[in-house]
């Protein structure tokens, strides 16, 4: 252990222990504060200055095998970033990445965990830089970009480190095995186990949550001894470039090969992810994105352990409300449908309610009235443009706009999407949600994901029918999240029962400051692996344990 | 919890706790005694009588969807068993199996673990029956059949139950999550997690170790809440039929649906494993057998989590011996090459030694002399026919005989295989090992598995060359086990280093009563997942955690 590595263990062991406790108790835990006021006052302004400086330049990243520059990011707020990144010759980069793996493996689980926590700590100090980087690649509003791409992503990374450490230290690393032989002396063997990495891990980043969705796989793979090559989405390179640069700095300072983490930026359309995914050195892949590429990876990258998060049809079952909870529930739903223009893999899309309406207090609220109440709530929430943009952010890419246009012709429009003018970025595309009413029979409409601010009020025969439809749709088309609103314990129990089979994570009667869209590290799972939306979750043992392998030796003691 | 289930928890909790401790300490642990004298005196004789009774009859197994009888097992000891088994209409059987899964899931991890331990306890009481069943399907000698198919397999099953329980209880099943909100009241959510099964698990049994290789997957899947359909090798149905019948009895007595475990026996050539492997209900597959079918499963059964154990080239590096250890090492190697006619996935095949010879004490023992010494040791071990058959058992199937014939023409025969007459079963095919000398250049010979009593002394340039060849061969062609004999700490360290990359489990300088072929539950891993011989191991978290999925709900507290 280098002196520095020992220091890092001493410094970060308490953090690791707290995270290990949190993944067992599942109680509230956060290591990296989500409130910007917990950070130095000058950090936000310094980061804004940094962002202006970095625009139009070559991002400094000294990696082996660089054979050119690439990068053509454009901010969803309406300007080109003009940043270029090193482009890698994989035949040079991958061998260089593999070179440091033996020393990294031999450092052992505790040192690797400490180095990973140090990387996360360094990233935490860069949270405002990452916030600007995320805002101008994902289109999130600044406040959300700060929390989601910064401390929340860092907490998810720490959670993955804790799970990796727990899995690798599930048993001793050496033992004396003594087998009794009756009256003869026992057989004694000295045994030793090491946690061996699989190889190089590939992280394929997404456009909307490059760090939040990228860190779990990245840190799970790194903590288990693998090298990690990060392939960002061509529209969202900067947040991961900052991440990779930080990881390389910390690795080097701790006495390890910085090439254990590298960036593989590509030009749009280059398809470097496919090339990487089929390289024999690549033994782990984490992917967030489209069904098309996720399915391709699962079927073709046979040499690798593949973790995917793909599309889904997140669903809400609307049954009944206490009269005094109803307004809060409407406001809550409106926010869920609006946050970051519903460009979240966890945002609701399919709202199932009986065609006869929902019960509010003692009365039945007809379908059309509920639709109108919900539309009004969204209108109230987003009535002021400045407030609206702080919630909505910007439309991440033209595909969302195209989908919105198509949705205008679907079913009966309950709420039309309107453009909002961003007070600071007039060229940004900002759009409010569209809500359409359709029938349960229109499965060809709601039976797939409409990524973006598009949701459907789906008329069913009854709540029982809603629950059945929920279970079937999610089993077939996937979902990460679900919600139910009901005053009936039986309906809630039936929805839970359907959930255990469908494998979405269910929120019940939420009206407060936590939304179904939100999944908190150390407590909430993100995905289950039971339905097509994801083949795993952040984070459980199934997500970390296959990233390394125990190998043993034994000899007479 | 039914009364019976509560009784089972009370009865088996100490066993579960002992197993949970053992998988952490990796010290010697065995719950089911391997010595036959630990069992009632009359049990062996009663089992022999049972075996004679069961021959020529229909095996009693009352399963839904039975549409006929099948079965054409022939004992490797030279007679037809004449036993038939129910053949299943999968369209009736699989839905019937799925029907009991909700109650089984809702019983929870502790009750399921207790029921699984009860099944293993029942199987333990049937160890002598299973020994006869295994002997006359696998060809193992009776003593080995008793230990390997009985208590050792049961311990492996218990180990899988312990891992499954540990993974499912890695955190609490409910919690109050309380997020501080500064001066405002905290947000409080009541959260609940359940371990949900994936679906129906398929266990594809092998010919040689139907229970030892079958129980880990079977019990890991059952303990995690899945139903399990057991598809035995057409030549080795009886041991798994006894197993399934016992599981069904225990499940029913404990108040669960016996159809949670069922047998899917097939006629030779029916290919029911392929049909089952592609059924959408089948979400987990455990397979032991050929590369061909294992690779097919990995590529085609995309809806399932697939665990495979396939062929490999287990390797020994021969470098140097203490003079006084040399005779014991030769005898030890001779036993490793002979045990159960080397029809073990862990038996050595490739013995690498410098073409100039190995060092014994202060002198160099030339290659040819070492070859001759080893051949003599095998000759001594197997010189007496009765003793030989107790070690060798019988040749399991004609493919092994065919391979032996082919091996006669390979390289320079150092030791020819000879037929042995079995004192009790004169029609049994019993053969001693064949050893051939080849050169390191003959990779087309030793670069694949010759399943059976065939091994190669491979002449290398040096021990360093041997280690390099070991690492490369195992990475490319797979291996479960490896061994090294050397007096040099440097050679041992270099072999260990190669092992961490190659992913075989290494035995160093063994001369006593534990052989490289042997892998002990609760301490030794079987396979690593790092090389083509297996994509997982018995048993670690990666082997159990993907068999279930955490699903959660949360509501305001």
- Which token pair is B187? 């947000």
Is B505–A530 a contact, with Cβ atoms under 8 angstroms apart? Answer: no
CB pairs under 8 A between A and B: 204
CB nearest A194 (choices: B170, B180, B500) = B500
**DSSP 3-state assignment of A202?**
strand
Q: Which of residues 109-128 of A touch B (CB under 8 A)?
A: none
CB atoms within 10 A of CB A409: 8
Count CB atoms within 10 A of the CB of residue A139: 29
Taking an 8 Å cut-off on Cβ atoms, the answer to whether B550 and A520 are in contact is: no
CB contact under 8 A, A25 and B299: no
Contact A109, A195 (CB under 8 A): yes
Strand partners, B262: B229
Chain B: residue whose CA lies nearest to A29: B179
- A537 part of contact set with chain B, CB < 8 Å: yes
Q: Which residues of chain B have pLDDT under 70?
A: 1-3
Place of tokens 């539309």: A375
A282 min Cα distance to partner chain B (Å): 13
What's the gap in Å between the CA of B58 and the closest CA on chain A?
Answer: 38
Q: Give the closest of A26, A528, A549 to B528, CB-based.
A: A549
Cβ of residue B20 closer than 8 Å to a chain A Cβ: no
Query: Are B181 and A513 an interchain contact pair (Cβ–Cβ within 8 Å)?
Result: yes
Which residues 478-497 on chain A approach chain B with CB closer than 8 angstroms?
A: 492, 496
Closest CA to A191 of A209, A177, A201: A177
Q: What is the DSSP letter of A39?
A: S
Give which of A283, A540, A557 to mutate to test B binding, by max B Cβ within 10 Å: A540
pLDDT by 10-residue block (mean), chain A, 557 residues: 83 98 98 96 96 97 95 97 97 98 98 98 98 98 98 98 98 97 96 98 97 98 98 97 98 97 89 96 97 94 96 97 98 98 97 98 97 98 96 96 97 97 96 98 97 98 98 97 98 98 97 96 97 96 98 97
Give B181's contacts in chain A (Cβ within 8 Å): 513
Chain A residues whose CB is inside 8 A of the B505 CB are 551-554
Q: Is A181's Cβ below 8 Å from some Cβ in B?
A: yes
- The Cα–Cα gap between B536 and B305 comes to 11
Bond into A286 cis (ω within 30): no
- Going by C-alpha positions, the residue among A277, A198, A202, A275 that lies closest to residue A232 is A202
Could you read off the pLDDT of B376-402 as tens digits, one per residue?
999 999 999 999 999 999 999 999 999
CA A25, A31, A32, A37 dihedral sign is positive
Q: Which of A93, A143, A152 is nearest to A120 (CA)?
A: A152
Between chains, do B552 and A505 touch, taking CB under 8 Å as contact? yes
pLDDT in tens, B60-93: 999 999 999 999 999 999 999 999 999 999 999 9
Those residues whose C-beta lies under 8 Å from the C-beta of residue B552, and which sit 6 or more positions away, are: A505, A506, A524, A525, B191, B192, B193, B194
Instruction: State whether residue A550 sits within 8 Å of chain B by CB.
Output: yes
Cα gap A406→A410, rounded to integer Å: 7
Asked if the C-beta of B37 comes within 8 angstroms of chain A's C-beta atoms, the answer is no
Nearest by CB to B26, from A177, A181, A499: name it: A177
The reported pLDDT for the residue numbered A4 is 87
Q: Which two tokens stand for residue B383?
A: 């010189």
Beta carbons of A28 and B178 less than 8 Å apart: yes
Looking at chain A, which residue has its C-alpha nearest residue B509? A555
Counted residue by residue, chain B has a size of 557
- The closest CB to that of A545, out of B503, B504, B541, belongs to B541
Nearest CA in chain B to A184: B513
- Cβ contacts of B500 on chain A, cutoff 8 Å: 105, 194, 196, 551
Contact yes or no for B530 and A196 at CB 8 A: yes
Which residues are paired to B445 by β-bridges? none
Pairing type for strands B434-439 and B66-70 reads unpaired
**Whether B555 contacts chain A with CB within 8 A:** yes
B406/A contact by beta carbon, under 8 A: no
Interface membership of B194 toward A (CB under 8 Å): yes
Of the candidates B27, B193, B525, which has its C-beta nearest A175's C-beta? B27
Could you give the angle at the alpha carbon of A167 between the alpha carbons of A166 and A170, nearest 5°? 80
Best residue in A542, A543, A544, A548 for a mutation probing chain B (most B CBs within 10 Å)? A542
Alpha-helical regions (H) of B41-147: 43-54, 90-99, 101-106, 108-125, 127-138, 142-147
- Residue A82: CB atoms within 10 A of its CB come to 13
| B496: nearest CB among A530, A549, A553 | A553
- Cβ-defined contact of A191 to B524 (cutoff 8 Å): yes
Kindly state the tokens that stand for A292: 């098309």
Contact call for residues B19 and B522 (beta carbons, < 8 A): yes
Whole-number pLDDT of residue A269? 81
What per-residue confidence (pLDDT) applies to A3?
64
On the CB side of B545, how many CA atoms lie within 13 Å of its CA?
Answer: 23
- pTM, two decimal places: 0.97
Q: Is A452 left (phi over 0), alpha (psi -120 to 50) or beta?
A: left
Q: Where are the alpha helices (DSSP H) in A255-359?
A: 272-277, 291-300, 326-338
Task: List, in order, residues 6 or more apart from A36 with CB less than 8 Å away.
Answer: A44, A128, A143, A146
Helices B326-338 & B385-392 angle (0-180, nearest 10): 70
Q: Tell me if B553 and A175 make a contact (CB, 8 A cut-off).
A: no
Name the residue facing B508 among A179, A299, A553 (closest C-beta): A553
Does B505 contact A at CB distance below 8 Å? yes
Interface of B with A in 281-340 (CB under 8 A): 298-299, 302
* A210 in contact with B, Cβ within 8 Å: no
**Does the CB of B185 have a partner CB in chain A at under 8 Å?**
no
């Amino acid at each position: 252990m280098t002196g520095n590595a020992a220091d890092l263990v001493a410094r970060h062991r308490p953090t690791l222990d707290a995270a290990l406790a949190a993944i067992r108790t599942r109680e509230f835990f956060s290591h990296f504060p989500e409130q910007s006021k917990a950070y130095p006052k000058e950090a936000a302004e310094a980061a804004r200055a940094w962002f202006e400086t970095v625009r139009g330049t070559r991002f400094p990243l000294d990696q082996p095998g660089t054979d050119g520059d690439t990068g053509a990011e454009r901010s969803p707020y309406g300007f080109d970033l003009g940043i270029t990144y090193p482009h890698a010759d994989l035949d040079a980069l991958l061998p260089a990445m593999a070179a440091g793996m033996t020393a990294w493996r031999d450092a052992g689980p505790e040192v690797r965990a400490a180095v990973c926590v140090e990387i996360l700590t360094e990233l935490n100090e860069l949270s405002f830089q990452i916030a600007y980087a995320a805002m101008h690649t994902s289109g999130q509003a600044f406040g959300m970009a700060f929390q989601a791409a910064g401390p929340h992503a860092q907490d998810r990374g720490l959670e993955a480190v804790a799970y990796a450490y727990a899995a690798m230290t599930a048993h001793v690393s050496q033992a004396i095995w003594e087998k009794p032989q009756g009256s003869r002396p026992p057989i004694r063997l000295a045994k030793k186990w090491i946690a061996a990495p699989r190889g190089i891990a590939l992280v394929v980043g997404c456009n909307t949550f490059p760090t939040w969705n990228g860190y779990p796989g990245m840190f799970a793979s790194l903590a288990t001894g693998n090298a990690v090559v990060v392939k960002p989405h061509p529209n969202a390179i900067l947040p991961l470039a900052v991440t990779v640069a930080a990881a390389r700095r910390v690795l080097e300072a701790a006495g390890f090969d910085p090439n254990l983490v590298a960036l593989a930026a590509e030009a749009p359309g280059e398809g470097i992810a496919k090339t990487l995914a089929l390289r024999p050195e690549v033994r782990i892949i984490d992917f967030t994105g489209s069904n098309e590429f996720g399915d391709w990876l699962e079927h073709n990258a046979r040499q690798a352990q593949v973790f995917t998060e793909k599309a889904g049809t997140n669903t809400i079952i609307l049954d009944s409300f206490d009269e005094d909870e109803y307004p809060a529930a409407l406001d809550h739903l409106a926010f869920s449908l609006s946050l970051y223009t519903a460009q979240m893999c966890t945002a609701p899309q399919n709202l199932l309610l009986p065609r006869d309406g929902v019960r509010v207090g003692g009365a039945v609220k007809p379908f059309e009235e509920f639709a109108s109440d919900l539309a009004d709530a969204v209108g109230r929430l987003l009535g002021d443009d400045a407030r609206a943009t702080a919630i909505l952010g910007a439309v991440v890419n033209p595909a969302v706009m195209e989908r919105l246009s198509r949705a205008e012709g679907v079913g009966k429009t309950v709420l039309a999407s309107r453009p909002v003018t961003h007070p600071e970025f007039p060229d940004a595309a900002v759009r409010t949600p569209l809500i359409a009413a359709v029938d349960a029979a229109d499965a060809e409409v709601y039976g797939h994901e409409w990524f973006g601010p598009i949701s459907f009020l789906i008329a069913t025969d009854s709540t029982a029918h809603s629950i059945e439809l929920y279970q079937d749709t999610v089993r077939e088309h996937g979902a990460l999240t679900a919600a139910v609103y009901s005053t009936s314990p039986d309906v809630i129990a039936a929805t839970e029962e359907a959930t255990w089979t469908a494998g979405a994570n269910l929120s019940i009667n939420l009206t407060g400051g936590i939304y179904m869209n939100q999944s908190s590290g150390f407590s909430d799972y993100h995905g289950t692996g039971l339905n097509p939306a994801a083949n795993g979750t952040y984070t459980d043992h199934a997500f970390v344990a296959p990233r390394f392998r125990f190998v043993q030796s034994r000899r007479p003691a």
